[in-house]
A and B are shown apart, each in its own frame.
Chain A
Amino acid sequence: MGKWRVGVDSGGTFTDVCMFDETERKVRVWKVSSTPSDPSVGIAQGVEEGMREHAGVGAAQSPGAMISYLGHGTTVATNALIQLRGAKVGLITTEGFSDLLEIGRQKRPSLYDIFAEKPATLVPRHLRFGVAERLLHDGSVEVPLDEAAVRAAAEAMKAEGVEAVAICFLYAFVNPDHERRARAIVEEILPEAFLCASHEIAPEFREYERLSTATVNSYLGPIMHRYIRRLSVRLSDLGLAAAPHLTQSNGGVASFDAAARTPVRSVLSGPSTGVVAAEAIGAVAGYPDIITFDMGGTSSDVALMTGGQTTQANEAVVHGYPIKAPMLDINTVGAGGGSIAWIDTGGFLKVGPQSAGADPGPVCYGRGNEEPTVTDANIVLQVLNPTHILGGRLAVHRDLAVKAVERMAGRLGLGTMETAQGIISVVTANMARAIRVISIQRGYDPRDYVLMAFGGAGPLHAVRLAQELDIRRVLVPRNPGTLCALGLLLTDLRANFPVTRLTRLTADNIPVLQGALEEVAAEADQWFADEGIAETARRLILSIDIRYEGQNYELSVPVPEGDFDADALAEVIRRFEAEHQRMYGFTAEGEAINAVTFRAEALGLVEKAELPERPLGPAEAASAVSGSREVWYPETGAFTDSPIYDRERLSPGMEFAGPALVEQMDTTTLVPPGVQVRVDPFENLIMELP
């Protein structure tokens, strides 16, 4: 038994189920409406229906028994943080620092806007307790822990009915003894509460960011626990025997138990599985260097991968809260199909970040919105079907969109079409800026990359964005709308173990360096054992965050395999200097070099869905043409007849040139004049720009 691998991506509107048949090696997709009040209902329903539909599960059989692997992506933690619906948390800190959570880095939220607010403090002052204890920077104890004060704080929190407790002491990343002891005391008094000590979740230096991470983890802990408990019951009702997994911000998955302990590591998991799918598609299609561009209704997510590896970040600010957790370096910008165009007081055209959302939606929906959106501009230009979108499911009113853009054109002193194209240009510039952050600002030149576009609106804007960034090649995968669910079938179990040990990179310190690497490797080994990962499926990647002594930002450098000897040390230094040269354009010869944080990334390889490859057929694509439409292009300055290709009928080997459109149920791909398109063996559209 057990021959289907299932990925479930639970979004705000739809729950997508992606199923891979291990026997026939085919991917199938099923979609149901989400059930926001209890998402586990929609998830169970989606899995059950999908398996009955595609796996031939009979009425008397339980679908779970045929599932060998289940991966699940959820935004429960993310939403709880955005909507501030987390648990009631108590906080214990070093005495004198109980306000630090509120002070943060003392910067104001906006340089010029007097009315801007700081993010809400997740633990109110009366639930924050400073207790006497103090370590010094070497981990030595200056003031022993006042256990009675910890006990009193725990009792006070109990009286207040807190559901979770965070503990963060200075230098706990060097010496966790005080945090451990405090945790044990709190556990005695509050045995039911979710507990998180900072050294467990982020044993790294910089106390505010570590404190914030531990606090967010506790804030989300009870929410995630309840969610997982409910979902586990439903999945076992389906007869699921395989251990289910949850996606993490690092693009990997974790067991339900591990994920419940570390919800802070999943808050950026939403867009991560799409990026994982992009990695897999790039790998088989032969494009290791990719910038992903996932554009939806309200925002766009972009990420960069080099040599098949997506850039990772170890820290980010999520909705105002600094979080130290391993994550894919994904940048989000408020630019989507629903972004509203407007003219500011200086007479310039702006787009977003306000969005018309799904309701009232763009002007062309005819639901009362009169401010043109990016989608309206595409309707006016007829890049999008001027009568029906979403595969014919939604009727649109082009006349309303034209009127709205005309009004704007009058104020700008431009033609209607130029204004519609202007809306596209401005939103493109906003997205290009987001990509510059993850590429140029990190020392990577976007011109060396392939742009992979997905999400409902990505393929529509991809070539324009590529033009803005001088990117020469664009890839649109076969199913741009369900890439996230597909990613769930392509990812590994993944966990990260950091430890900060500030050490000079010198031959004398080789034993210390070796010791720190062994320490994180041992933690990874423990994780492999806890997760029951077979020996053959274990992969361990060690790296060190390094900087010149006196600097403050480290560069992560992979450690060569084998013993950490003098040769390995020399190689690590060489790699650091090369990376420094690439990032900053110089090396500081003769300066001492420090290792700061040692990291183990542990991978438990899982058997993955395969992307089917088909032989190349003839280049002639006329058979895939389903019709034509007049589209306005800035290149021609006029409406130009453009053939419409039906994505379902395009097969590997076919070639055609712009101007053209490719339509499929969940998206439209724009091929402007001069762009060449071919369909590769994986049914990706490969567009070459002149």
Chain B
Amino acid sequence: MRPETPSAAMLSKAGDAAKVTALDPITVEVIGSALASIVDETGEALVRASYSTNIKERRDCSTALFDREGRTLCQAEHIPIHLGSFIEFVPKIMAEKDVDSLRPGDVFIGNDAYAGGGTHLPDIVLAEPIFVDGELAAWTVNLAHHSDFADRGHAHIYQEGLRIPPIRLYRAGEVQQDVLDLVLLNCQVPRERLSDLRAQMAANRVGVRRFQDLCAKHGKAVVLAAGDELLDYAERKMRAGIAALPDGTYRFEDIFDSIDLEESLPLAVEVTIAGEEVTLAFEAPPQVRAGINMTETALLATVYYIVKSVVDPTILPNSGLSRPIHVKAPKGSVLNCAHPAAVNGRVQTCQRVSDLILGALAGAVPDKVCACTNSACTVATFSGVRQDGPEKGNLWVYLETIGGGGGARPTADGLDGIHVHATNTSNLPVEALELEYPLILTRYELVDGSAGAGKYRGGMGLRRVYRATEDCVVRLDVSRFETASWGLGGGGAGGKSSIVFGPGVAPFSLGRGTLRAGEWFAISSPGGGGYGPAEERDTEAQVRDARDGIAFAPAGGA
């Protein structure tokens, strides 16, 4: 797969930075700090001005700066998988549009997995070129997961929502009303979409202004040269980190089950560490008629995330870190899908792939990895029609993701009830949830019996119990019903997912069903695997387990 972007040569004319030679590492560090401030600030602007619960409370969004060649310059520490939607977006624009036609105030919108490098359709990207002294200098980019396109089919991408290639939403500062109208008509909750898009616009405006200020302060040539150097710097750190790992080839296999799938899928990876470089070769079955397929960009974002976590978590999140990492996966497979595969639930697969890679790296550096996490991102989506109030007759959509157990570490228990790997969103406060949607949450708790046993135990999964106060459609994206999260070094497996339906609820099919007013169901996310043999657990921890009523997952999985 491609290392960075194909467009480096294309824009060599923007190379006045080359004149600034031998920029000292201190200036670069100072500018790097300022760039990190900018993406933090755009992220804060996006969250604070947004309307939908998914962004304002759950923070399911990301911001980044890209350089003039379309390479990731700096990504805010939000959601790792969102990098997948970013890395191809700007290069696609630059490859397909006439770069000379770009104007200040142009804003591109897009979400498509095939025409725009997206990873699934709800993640809508807004990108704006930043001009300094009349020349393209960088891009400010952000992504918000719009809770929309609910209650859809997932046989292929055309069922999953509106596909938007990278197109101008604003042209030189003027909104393209026709485009906006078309997008909003295809959304189920257009009011929220409009408000969130407005917040995304506000965030980009901040990014443009701050980057221009930075160039005014240090000089454009210096800032651009520092950007190049920051990429080299991330590469150096990644290379140094990989070099410290023992050379060799490490293989790991797992079976991926999901509520979407009639049949489970075998997955495997072979990680080859050779000097300063690492190659990950995946084996996966052909893409399926379900939403769990991963685009190439989703796979790359997942790999970059997990390799950085294990090799050196402090490496700057820019595209330089990817240079010594090589990824291979069969085209048209579940892990590198081709048009028209459906991709909406790709996060389940990303999570499983993250643990797959961890499993392989455990062969190389068992003291730097954790046992298998819950490997899931348990998602519940509710939708319906407002029964009263000022919104009566309008559709409502509520999506939430539920954390699970973390894997036990070589030195400590796994974390309980957290989001792992490719995602990291907040829960929605019950007191906000019940105010905005016709749902009541009757329990939210750690799942007893879900922690994998071990010298260090796995983290516990989470249980949420929902009762509907109005009729609604429910869709669940869940995995790990069949296979449990594995332990390491003799540690036990974690508990599996489960769903319990209250009386009267009609059985769900492939995670989809309806809930009538007054009906309830409970969903439990999986626990994490343990690390080391349970017999070696220290006495104090055992006393604590007993006192706090922490039961372990039975051997072989529950």
- Chain A interface (Cβ < 8 Å from any Cβ of B): 95-100, 102-103, 105-115, 117-118, 124-126, 134, 136-137, 170-171, 205-208, 344-350, 412, 414, 418, 422, 425-426, 428-430, 432-433, 436-437, 440-441, 468, 470, 502, 548, 550-553, 583-586, 588, 591-592
Contacts and interface: CB of A to CB of B under 8 A. Distances in A.
Contacts of A125: 547-550
B171 interface: no
Contact of B443 (A96, A126, A432): A96
A347 B424 CA distance: 30
Contact of A102 (B312, B434, B446, B544): B446
A113 B33 contact: no
A110 B370 CA distance: 14
Given A112-B305, A136-B434, A414-B24, A550 B195 contact: yes
B57 interface: yes
A567 B381 CA distance: 43
B53 A106 contact: no
A98 B210 CA distance: 44
Interface string B528-558: 0000000000000000100111100000000
Given A113-B313, A551-B50, A552-B53, A346 B234 contact: yes
A108 B240 CA distance: 27
Contact of A106 (B29, B206, B403): B403
A207 B430 contact: yes
B444 A103 contact: yes
Contacts of B36: 433
Contact of A425 (B26, B77, B415): B26
Nearest to B442: A96
Contact of A426 (B26, B45, B191): B26
B313 A347 contact: no
Contacts of A583: 48-49
Given A106-B417, A425-B30, 9 more contacts: A99-B444, A99-B445, A117-B415, A124-B547, A137-B431, A205-B429, A429-B29, A436-B37, A588-B195
Contacts of A586: 49, 198, 202
Given A99-B445, A429-B34, A441-B44, A551 B51 contact: yes
Nearest to B465: A96
B548 A126 contact: yes
Contact of A548 (B41, B51, B236, B313): B51
A610 to B, nearest CB: 40
22 contacts: A98-B445, A99-B444, A105-B426, A106-B427, A107-B426, A111-B80, A113-B309, A114-B407, A137-B431, A205-B429, A207-B431, A345-B312, A346-B234, A346-B236, A432-B33, A433-B37, A437-B40, A440-B41, A441-B45, A468-B30, A552-B50, A584-B49
B: contact size bracket: 35 or more
Q: Closest 4 interchain pairs by CB?
A: A96-B443, A552-B56, A125-B548, A112-B313
Given A117-B412, A125-B548, A588-B195, A108 B33 contact: no
Contacts of B34: 429, 432-433
Given A96-B444, A125-B548, A425-B26, A207 B310 contact: no
B51 A107 contact: no
B432 A206 contact: yes
A103 B36 CA distance: 29
B51 A108 contact: no
Contact of B417 (A102, A112, A205): A102
A346 B240 contact: yes
B240 A345 contact: yes
B470 to A, nearest CB: 14
Contacts of B488: none
B63 to A, nearest CB: 13
B420 A418 contact: no
B431 A205 contact: yes
A99 B51 contact: no
Given A108-B419, A436-B37, A583-B48, A99 B195 contact: no
B411 interface: yes
B25 A412 contact: yes
A597 B287 CA distance: 51
B491 to A, nearest CB: 15
Contacts of B309: 112-114
Contacts of B313: 110, 112-114
A99 B524 CA distance: 14
Which of A345, A412, A502 has the most chain B CB atoms closer than 10 A to its own CB?
A345
Contact of B41 (A102, A208, A430, A441): A441
Nearest to A345: B240
Interface of B: 24-30, 32-34, 36-37, 40-41, 44-45, 47-53, 56-57, 77-78, 80, 191-192, 195, 198-199, 202, 205-206, 210, 217, 233-234, 236-237, 240-241, 305, 308-310, 312-315, 368-370, 390, 402-403, 406-407, 409, 411-412, 415-420, 424-427, 429-432, 434-435, 440, 442-446, 462, 465, 544, 547-550
B417 A99 contact: yes
A108 B48 CA distance: 21
Contact of A111 (B25, B407, B424): B424
A182 to B, nearest CB: 18
A9 B207 CA distance: 42
A110 B210 CA distance: 26
Contacts of A100: 444-445
B77 A111 contact: yes
B432 A205 contact: yes
Contacts of B390: 592
A585 B202 contact: yes
B51 A346 contact: no
B119 to A, nearest CB: 18
Contact of A114 (B41, B52, B370, B445): B370
A97 B442 CA distance: 8
Which of A112, A171, A428, A433 has the most chain B CB atoms closer than 10 A to its own CB?
A112
Contacts of B37: 432-433, 436-437, 440
A422 B26 contact: yes
Contacts of B32: 348
A349 B233 CA distance: 11
B202 A107 contact: no
B73 to A, nearest CB: 16
B48 A107 contact: no
Nearest to A114: B370
A208 B444 CA distance: 12
A426 B432 CA distance: 42
A430 B549 CA distance: 45
B161 to A, nearest CB: 22
Nearest to B198: A586
A349 B50 CA distance: 37
A348 B233 contact: yes
B210 A108 contact: no
Given A103-B462, A108-B418, A205-B432, A97 B444 contact: yes
B303 to A, nearest CB: 14
A436 B41 contact: yes
Contacts of B426: 105-107
B465 A118 contact: no
Given A112-B309, A552-B53, A103 B427 contact: yes
B409 A114 contact: yes
Contacts of B305: 112
B375 to A, nearest CB: 14
Contacts of A548: 51, 195
B540 to A, nearest CB: 13
A433 B33 contact: yes
Contacts of B56: 551-553
Nearest to B547: A126
Which of A95, A134, A347 has the most chain B CB atoms closer than 10 A to its own CB?
A347
A68 to B, nearest CB: 45
Which of B49, B402, B549 has the most chain A CB atoms closer than 10 A to its own CB?
B49
B435 A502 contact: yes
Contacts of A118: 415, 418
Nearest to B429: A206
A137 B435 contact: yes
